[in-house]
Amino acid sequence: MIKSVTIINYRNKEVKITLTEADPNHGLLISNIDGLGPVKANININEYMISDGGLYNSSKLGIRNIVLDLIFTWAKNIEDTRQLTYEYFPLKRKLTFIVETDNRTLYTEGYVESNEPVIFSDMETTRISILCPDPYFHDWNEKDTLINFSTVESLFEFPFDNNSIDEDLIEFGKISTIREVDFDYKGDATIGCIFKFHCIGHVRNISLYHAEADGYNEEMIFNTDAIESLTGQPLGAGDDLIINTNTGKKSVNLYRGGEYINVLNVLNKTSQWINIYKGYNALAYSAEEGIANLGLEIIYNTIYEGI
């Protein structure tokens, strides 16, 4: 069940419309919302010229169109309430649309296409159309999920007794580099993510895999020798290699000395941009040299097809 809708306008002012509130102070009631389900897919199929059927070519999702039907109440007066919608839904401007349900709070961002009030009526209403370039909803409470391949294993406990003045028998902690990890992605749709390799020493030629039970089905290979050719220094301590596989943002950058350097050419031409899929995912990485000097963070945002 939908509990509320919150609108944050381009000036960061917000209004929350609770569906169970009969007489809100702002004077806005929601009578209907269209465009909260999955967006219609555009399927491209080429029909055969001399036989039945056709051949699938490609598919993609279109933009999301959210349409709000609002009723004006006498909380202030009808005119003030109507003009309030011009403040929170200004034409052409960007806004954030947040929907709270019983089990999650999701958001999307869009631009106001139209605000069409019905003025000459016993019950004044308006219909507001919002076009969202991103067809998916995102988790409002968990903007990004971070998976860290480098962890510290806790070994320090009380009480303790070293029992030696010559040897270090007690370890307070041990740094271990995990080279593979699996996790369950709860979203509805396939997404890209950000891979951030951090070096604490010399590293050469990195491979990143998306592994399944029957072997690797996606692989990205980074020829780091090209970094030395480009910058004059090999990949080493303090360097970050940052890979973004999100649609429309695909990139490979080296972060060194406080600046980002485009090093897309280090990616092997046979590589595939690695995605995260609904359900079980297994990721792993390796290096020809210096694997112990390499840590990895994965950052992604959970997305949903609809409310």
Percent of the chain clearing pLDDT 70 (strictly above): 88
- For 18, 65, 111, 118, 199, the CA distances from 115, given in Å and listed in that order, are 20, 13, 11, 10, 52
pLDDT score recorded for residue 176? 47
Across residues 236-252, what is the average pLDDT? Answer: 93
pLDDT (mean) for 190-194: 90
What would the mean pLDDT of 235-239 be, rounded to a whole number?
93
What pTM, to 2 d.p., does this model score? 0.75
Least confident of 14-18, 58-62, 168-172, 234-238: 168-172
Question: Looking at residue 236, what is its pLDDT?
Answer: 92
pLDDT (tens digit, 9 = 90+) per residue, 31-48?
Answer: 999 999 999 999 999 998
pLDDT at 164: 56
Would the CA dihedral through 17, 23, 26, 31 be positive or negative? positive
| Across 97-101, 125-129, 153-157, 215-219, least confident range | 153-157
Q: Over the Cα atoms of the chain, what is R_g?
A: 26
In the prediction, which pLDDT does 182 show?
Answer: 83
Cα 236–239–242 angle (5° rounding)? 130
Q: Please, what are the domains in the chain?
A: 2-139 (2.40.30.200), 145-304 (2.60.120.880)
Rounded Cα distance, 272 and 223, in Å: 14
Residues 48 and 53: their CA atoms lie apart, in Å, by 6
